[in-house]
């Protein structure tokens, strides 16, 4: 640790500031404007840098690190195309409230605005998709800016913060002094808790016949899973989860129903439609949960919304009881007031369990074809539900939500709000580096896997033991499903013929590759992958026409589900 008051360059100050913030790993890719930063790394062996093979891989890896650890992820890129290659990953993190500190180098200050080689106004481009961003004009400001950036990214409603540093500022001399804890005028890191609103909610719960809790990603972000379990144990109110809320409440809990929404379970969606009190806990009532918002929860006499961001309350769904606050604090107070609903709770839960038995989330098994749902069930059984699962975006994402059971927070890593293809595999690298003692399984389709497949090199070089699943149906599966059901089988531009042999692709990078097309092969291949000390890729060949059910079509109410051919 350097002494305070030490003279150094802006680049050295940046690296020291990252260490002072507890950063252990940076994901990045160098370039001309960033060379002073990378040169400083040759004199600093305390900070681990992972050289990704594309800037998008770097930002997704930082995102996976952040989601799985709860700490801010850090990525680094050069100016121009290096910076713009980060934009999709920044937007991904912004939509899902993920803490990132994104550092970009830029051309020297005297060239800013001159259309210099590899110049891009990354600050202007990212203003709508960052929680805050900085353009560094003085090297002496670097310690303060870093301290503020991590504070902003990791408090309140979390999100990405971008720091853009011109090349000459990276080289300028300055005196390093770590600033005091940041006091940012106008920034409220944690809203004040108003107990009166929580008391009104508890009164509404006491009056309700059919109360229902919706557990959103905010439960995970605020580390409030324990408080939510205690609250449900006291009140015996059933719980449904949003997609990104999975794991925030244990799937094995007797009062957990299932995921709700677009591909949610029958019982969960019917519970929303039948409930007379709906309480959203850290969910922003997005369209994939509510579907036709005018038909959402039609029997609810009251809708309550708990969120750390006051702007979300009442934004999408009319809210009768709005509670702004950190969910952990809100639930802690609510637990002190909680009482069981008694017989009413049991009658309501009995109705829900009857629906769970009537229409469980299921699939038609086969002895001749390898069903993707079977693969996810097999992975769950082999890992005993203890793995961190990262997914790309598509049908496999929903099968992973439906058929892997999440009993721990930060166990499901996926792009929810933006739905970013290419996210799944690099995010698994970040999750594995952040959790070296956990099994990390990356579940991908054959489309999304090809968007960041080059990061196989990173797994091979560093022997990062991610187990990579490719569910290969040879088409863009979710697009095909929608074209089948909505566009009357008018299939357009979904054929992925010409995709690589994924086993040979893995082997070309130095990663073990395996393939399976039936149940017995799948079991053997997965067992071999699990016994492989380093990374392994398993391609599971699945039917082209397998669909995800249940499904609620756009514009339909939650109780208007397509359940499949059962």
Active site residues: 55, 117-118, 167, 478
**Cα separation, 103 vs 91, whole angstroms:** 15
The closest of 546, 442, 535, 544 to 499, measured between CA atoms, is 544
In the chain the first and final C-alpha atoms are separated, in Å, by 64
Identify whether the C-beta of residue 405 lies closer than 8 Å to the C-beta of residue 383: no
Q: Phi/psi of residue 358, each to 5°?
A: -70, -45
Question: How does DSSP classify residue 428?
Answer: H
The closest of 184, 166, 228, 519 to 377, measured between CA atoms, is 519
**Cα separation, 244 vs 416, whole angstroms:** 6
3-state secondary structure of 353: helix
Identify whether the C-beta of residue 383 lies closer than 8 Å to the C-beta of residue 389: no
**Cα separation, 88 vs 127, whole angstroms:** 13
Contacts of 79 (CB under 8 A, 6+ apart): 31, 32, 33, 34, 104, 105, 106, 107, 118, 119, 120, 122, 167
CA distances from 118 to 83, 98, 102, 114 (A): 9, 28, 18, 11
DSSP states of 91-122 as a string?
HHHHHTT--EEEEEEES-GGGTTTT-TT---H
Instruction: Report the DSSP pairing between strands 48-51 and 25-29.
Output: parallel
The closest of 386, 359, 391, 348 to 372, measured between CA atoms, is 391
**Cα separation, 16 vs 1, whole angstroms:** 8
Q: Is 492 left (phi over 0), alpha (psi -120 to 50) or beta?
A: beta
- As a dihedral over the C-alpha atoms of residue 332, residue 333, residue 335, residue 341, rounded to 10 degrees, the angle is -140
Which residue has 């309550």 as its token pair? 304
Query: What is the distance of C-alpha 9 from the center of its chain?
Result: 36
Element (H, E) at 215: strand 211-215
The tokens for 78 are 């050069």
**Cα separation, 385 vs 379, whole angstroms:** 8
**Cα separation, 127 vs 134, whole angstroms:** 10
**Cα separation, 320 vs 322, whole angstroms:** 6
CA distances from 436 to 127, 381, 388, 426, 428 (A): 34, 21, 11, 15, 11
């Amino acid at each position: 640790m350097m002494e305070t008051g030490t003279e150094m360059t802006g680049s050295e100050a940046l690296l020291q500031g990252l260490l002072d913030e507890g950063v252990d790993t940076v994901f990045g890719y160098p370039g001309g404007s960033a060379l002073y930063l990378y040169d400083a790394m040759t004199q600093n062996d305390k900070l681990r840098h992972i050289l990704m093979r594309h800037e998008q891989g770097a930002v997704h890896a930082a995102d996976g690190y952040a989601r799985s650890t709860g700490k801010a992820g850090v990525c680094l890129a050069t100016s121009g195309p290096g910076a713009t290659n980060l934009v999709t990953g920044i937007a991904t993190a912004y939509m899902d409230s993920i803490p990132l500190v994104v550092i970009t180098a830029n051309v020297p200050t005297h060239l800013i605005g001159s259309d210099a080689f590899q110049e891009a106004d990354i600050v202007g481009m990212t203003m709508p998709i960052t929680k805050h961003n900085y353009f560094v004009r003085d090297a002496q400001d670097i310690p303060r800016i870093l301290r503020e950036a991590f504070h902003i990214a990791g408090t309140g409603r979390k999100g990405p913060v971008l720091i853009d540093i011109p090349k000459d500022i990276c080289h300028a001399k300055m005196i390093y002094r770590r600033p005091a804890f940041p006091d940012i005028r106008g920034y409220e890191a944690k809203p004040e808790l108003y107990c009166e609103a929580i008391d009104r909610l508890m009164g509404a719960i006491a009056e309700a016949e059919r109360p229902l809790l919706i557990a959103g990603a905010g439960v995970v972000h605020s580390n409030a899973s324990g408080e939510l379990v205690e609250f449900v144990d006291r009140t015996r109110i059933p719980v449904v989860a949003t997609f990104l809320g999975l794991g925030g409440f244990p799937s094995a809990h007797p009062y957990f129903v299932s995921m709700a929404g677009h591909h949610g379970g029958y019982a969960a969606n019917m519970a929303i439609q039948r409930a007379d009190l709906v309480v959203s806990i850290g969910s922003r009532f997005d369209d994939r949960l509510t579907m036709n918002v005018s038909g959402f929860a039609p029997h609810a006499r009251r809708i309550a919304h708990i969120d750390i961001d006051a702007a979300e309350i009442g934004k999408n769904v009319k809210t009768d009881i709005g509670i702004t606050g950190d969910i952990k604090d809100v639930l802690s107070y609510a637990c002190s007031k909680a009482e069981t609903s008694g017989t009413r709770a049991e009658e309501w839960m009995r109705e829900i369990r009857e629906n769970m038995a009537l229409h469980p989330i299921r699939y038609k098994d086969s002895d001749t074809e390898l069903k993707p749902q079977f693969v996810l069930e097999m992975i769950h059984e082999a890992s005993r539900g203890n793995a961190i699962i990262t997914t790309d975006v598509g049908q496999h994402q929903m099968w992973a939500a439906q058929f892997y059971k999440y009993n721990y927070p930060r166990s499901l890593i996926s792009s929810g709000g933006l739905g970013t293809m290419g996210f799944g595999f690099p995010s698994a690298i970040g999750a594995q580096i952040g959790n070296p003692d956990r099994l990390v399984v990356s579940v991908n389709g054959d489309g999304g896997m090809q968007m960041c497949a080059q990061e196989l090199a990173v797994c091979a070089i560093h022997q990062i033991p991610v187990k990579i699943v490719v569910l290969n149906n040879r088409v863009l599966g979710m697009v095909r499903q929608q074209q089948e059901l909505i566009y009357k089988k008018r299939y357009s531009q979904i054929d992925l013929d010409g995709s690589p042999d994924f086993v040979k692709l893995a082997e070309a990078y130095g990663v073990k590759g395996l393939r399976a097309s039936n149940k017995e092969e799948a079991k053997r291949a997965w067992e071999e992958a699990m016994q492989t000390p380093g990374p392994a890729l398993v391609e599971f060949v699945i039917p082209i026409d397998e669909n995800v059910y249940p499904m609620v079509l756009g514009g339909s109410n939650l109780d208007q589900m397509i359940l499949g051919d059962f």
